[in-house]
Structure 1
């Protein structure tokens, strides 16, 4: 006798913005919605320590961006940005800098967002380097940063700036370990301590 695993119905059909908005925070944790389909981001046990370090890295950067951004902007981690309603596309960047006056607006929309940061983790390389870059650019988010780990363990931060005419990002500065960025505002943070 064999046992078959039965996947929930929501894994086989597109969900709407209204359906997603009715789910609890717990149901939305660890997922993104791409073209209406749920994409689960599991954390494998062998990778747990590395993923925990990457989460600390995102928090350290979010804190530095929040302190540097002034009263008009907030920086935080772990919440959805609604890129599109139909088909529903929600992404959950590792760090989001958003307008402070939209703190109670749900969902967070691209026009509320100044910068998104993705920390590349094992298994997210193609998504973070190609797919999300295109989605964030099409949505009009002005800045995209990607953090990767060099072979020596020191974080590399790749910055990109939106070219509105082409709706694509231009490569900006690359920082090794210490971020000393002038745009979108002055920020100085040592990521080697994460």
Structure 2
């Protein structure tokens, strides 16, 4: 007899911002909320995590005292229906470090590292969501089969609330905006 897969009830019920805010940090780890529904994020590889950490460290050093760069925490895109995303790297205003939840107006750049299982979300869904809420910069890192990451940079057009394509880097990033940063991801 084949085992029957039963999904938990919470995966089929919209949750509110108040409900989510009452959950523990452990309950919120590894999930995102889209239109009030919990979505489980795929496990990430060591390479994925290393790319995110190296980039976050470089951005944090380059950003100066007004901005912080970090990994893996929620950005509250909207309250109703609740939409929380957990970008791989977030650059946010330093003076908001103790504010929870982090809001789009606190953020200047989000970065997603594409992994198996996150392709559609990182290439389509989150791009549109980040643009609609006005986050000025979006970077997407593709893990190419050659092992050398490809970084796609996008800049928000405030009039249309859509991103326009910017520079593309293979391996080493030499970005001028949102601030000057150089980092070699090709050696990861």
Aligned residue among 143, 161, 167 for 2:161: 167
Q: RMSD across aligned C-alpha pairs, in angstroms?
A: 1.2
Q: Determine the structure 2 residue equivalent to 1:120.
A: 114
Shift of 1:5: 4.2
> Which structure 1 segments of 5+ residues have no match?
none
- The answer to whether the aligner puts 1:12 opposite 2:12 as a matched pair is yes
Q: Which has a greater percent of helix?
A: 1
Normalising by structure 2, we get a TM-score of 0.96
Q: Determine the structure 2 residue equivalent to 1:56.
A: 50
- The answer to whether the aligner puts 1:28 opposite 2:22 as a matched pair is no
Aligned residue among 129, 133, 145 for 1:135: 129
> Which structure 2 segments of 5+ residues have no match?
none
Regions of 4+ moved over 6 Å? none
Deviations 1:96-149 (A, max 9, x none): 000000000000000000000000001211111111100000010000000002
Q: Determine the structure 2 residue equivalent to 1:101.
A: 95
Q: Is the 8 A contact 2:11 2:37 kept in 1?
A: yes
- Taking the aligned partners of 2:28 and 2:38, their CA distance within structure 1 comes to 10
- SS class of match (2:186): helix
Shift of 1:2: 6.6
Q: Determine the structure 1 residue equivalent to 2:141.
A: 147
Q: In structure 2, do the counterparts of structure 1 residues 4 and 109 end up closer, same or farther at CA, with 3 Å as the change threshold? A: same
Q: Is the 8 A contact 2:42 2:117 kept in 1?
A: no
Normalising by structure 1, we get a TM-score of 0.93
